[in-house]
Amino acid sequence: MDGPGNRNTRSDWYDLLYPRISSIFTRDRGLHDVRRRIWTHALSSAAIRQYHHRIIRKVEKLVNLIQAEGHRPILINEVMYWFAFDSMGDFAFSMDFKMMENQEWHQVILLFRSALALLGPLSPAIWIPRLAFAFAPGLLWAKWWFQMLAFCDQCMERRMKQTLKDKDIASFFIEDHSTSTDKRRKMWLSGDTATLVVAGSDTNAPTLTHLFYFLARYPEHTERIYQELKSLDSVEDAVGLSKLSHLNGAINETMRLLPAVLTFGTRVTPPEGLTIADTFIPGGTKICAPRYTIGRLESAYERPKEFIPERWYSQEELIRDRRAFAPFGVV
């Protein structure tokens, strides 16, 4: 569906930000490829090394917040959202929402989540929100949407007024904006900013929450990861962390069982149609590959409903079809 050489195209869902455009929210493959290069540079290994110290600072705040609660239970999904948004604000725009510090939701972030909540029930009929955005922008939930986009623009505008020694992700988009001659450069910047805010926070938070859920449910894996971490001189060693088999296996297993984006990412079949597993799908048909369902297919995994981090390094026979694992594949 999204493999090399496929001729499927993105559906009208990707017009959601119109007239704003971005690498993800465009249906034009040529524009997507051009804009994707900026994202590739902004998220390269070299660039991430420049943001690494920012992430470490936020991790330290997260640890301190949890330790301060002692043995009292905490609402981990709430804390992880605070961490994700605070981290995104720092390495994306060099700003801090201070939700972990204040231990409460930033009011704009609550509005942001309310706006994004619309995408769940309305995504299959994306024409409904598009109609509301165009002809009834005063509706409460449509108003939330525009306030969310305005907030994203304000983050970038505030960042553009700053001159920083250290690079953040916004640096790459600001540089492109300042040198571009494209008449749509303002719409590109606005669209990429909105994409950055969503992708940098609203996918990380559920993944972290799901990981801690599995570790709480299966504490034997928590102990194994703890022993792996003890083998490192420092948990700030990104290269060392990437080599911890059980830690990375647990992360992969979490994304397999509970991907941050459970479904959608629709495509439209080419005019000549498409054949999948001996089933012909006519041209012009909307299709999607639901990650939640694919991650639990018996044809792809042995014991698919079980949380087994070892399947990713020492028990690879438990993976029948590696093509089934693509948590970020269809976007």
Domain termination residue (choose one: 150, 170, 199)? 199
Residue-level pLDDT at 330: 53
My answer on whether 215 and 193 are in the same domain is no
Quote the tokens at residue 26.
Answer: 């465009």
* pLDDT tens-place string over residues 181-192: 888 899 999 999
Q: In total, how many domains does the chain have?
A: 2
My answer on whether 93 and 181 are in the same domain is yes
Flag whether 6 is in a domain: no
Residue-level pLDDT at 29: 83
SS3 assignment, position 324 = helix
My answer on whether 174 and 221 are in the same domain is no
Residue-level pLDDT at 158: 95
Number of neighbours of residue 218 by Cβ within 10 angstroms: 16
Flag whether 1 is in a domain: no
Flag whether 227 is in a domain: yes
Residues with pLDDT less than 50, the chain:
331
Which residues sit opposite 281 in a β-bridge? Answer: 274
Flag whether 241 is in a domain: yes
Flag whether 5 is in a domain: no
Quote the tokens at residue 173.
Answer: 């988009």
Q: Give residue 165's domain range.
A: 12-199
Domain termination residue (choose one: 175, 199, 223)? 199
* pLDDT tens-place string over residues 120-147: 788 888 899 899 999 998 888 888 889 9
pTM score:
0.90
My answer on whether 209 and 195 are in the same domain is no
Torsion sign, CA atoms 173, 177, 182, 183:
positive
* pLDDT tens-place string over residues 265-279: 899 999 999 998 899
Are 109 and 88 within 8 A, CB to CB? no
Torsion sign, CA atoms 224, 57, 94, 210:
positive
Q: How far apart are CA 133 and CA 165, in angstroms?
A: 39
Residue-level pLDDT at 110: 87
My answer on whether 53 and 165 are in the same domain is yes
My answer on whether 154 and 44 are in the same domain is yes
